[in-house]
Amino acid sequence: MFVLVAVALPAVLWTTGGAIGDASPSVDANVTERYRATDALTGTQTVEIRTDGTVTSRTVADVTLVPETERKRVHFRNAANRQYDRQVSNGSTLWLHDTDRDTVTAIELTGPPTESRTAERLQLLVAAAGLTDDAGRPQSIGVSPLPVVPRHAGAAPQADANHSYVVEFVETDTVDGREAYVIDIAPEANRSEAGYHQRLWLDAERFYPLRKQTSWTADGSRRSVTTTYTNVTFDAAVSADAFRPEIGANTTVERPNTPNTEWFRSRADLEARSSVSVPEPTVPPAFELVYATRTTGRIDGVGLRYAAGGRELTVAKFNYTLDIDADERDATVGGRPATIDYGPTTSVSWNCDGYGYTVRGTGVETDRLVEVGRSVGCPA
């Protein structure tokens, strides 16, 4: 599933520009408006995972999606190896269908007090690719690639000191008969074939990613996740029932005891409401607090989310400890052993006096995450 992640990005005014060269298109559409103009789309979603060129997983589903919302309907084909063969969401509740058991699991969705910025991020990427640059030069832009789904362990993307990515137009191609602009994204400081790399096929009319391929190297193996949409219909006639669960007279509805999450605009507001002390991290100067969270119920904890030009950084504290072996530690934080989990999103975790801590970053260097973790440390 193509996931829409809210990040803090500056607004971009669209200006019509020339093409990079004779073979390159000149985009004169407002990407944000075109993307947001799509009421709904239907199609076939294929997610393929490869290791060293060998397909290790392939999932195919019929989908109905509403961009920039949580409304969706996903029906997996050949779901013999999946617990749930259908997912339906109206934006506030997600229903997971297990038709073999005639059971539906209902999960209440919560979200931060921010709007989706995917449309603006796509417009930034198109502009950075040079499709509106009269000079036709590749440009460096302080925005991270689109999120990878699903997430798998691997080597952390090697961004430069400024966390900049080079975005380049490659060619005009087709995906299942639809014209698409192909765009490459790579960290400016490491553009080798072994480094982190993302390629997008953006629909030439709607700028929706018809295909997204993300590659990175982990433990000496080249890994990739490719999501492709075929049989796509934009502005499809979709009934409101498409985003409602199918619950029969004999269907069992289960509602798991999920934690309750509250959202706050400032750390001070969170601190005033939380029984758990709130960390005071030192974050890089460019990062600003987007929101703070308080989680209660099965898990009690607090969280702080920061953003800077498409990069994201979170600090979380919760009332259970992690399984961290002192003999296998990757770093030390506050005198305690810490583990580092690598991938498109990298995290640093440690325990302190009965609480677990995690610092997680997208587009943030591992050393910088460790520094943020050490600024939190192990408070007395």
- What was the pLDDT predicted at 113? 54
If phi > 0 it is left, if psi is from -120 to 50 it is alpha, else beta; for residue 120 that is alpha
User: Lowest mean pLDDT: which of 1-10, 30-39, 69-78, 276-285?
Assistant: 1-10
Which whole number is the average pLDDT over 153-159?
33
Which whole number is the average pLDDT over 44-57?
90
| CA separation for the pair 293, 295 (Å, rounded) | 7
| CA separation for the pair 48, 65 (Å, rounded) | 19
- What was the pLDDT predicted at 375? 96
- What was the pLDDT predicted at 158? 34
- pLDDT over threshold 60, residue 290: yes
- pLDDT over threshold 80, residue 23: no
- pLDDT over threshold 80, residue 35: yes
- What was the pLDDT predicted at 283? 95
Domains observed in the chain:
31-234 (2.50.20), 260-376 (3.30.200.100)
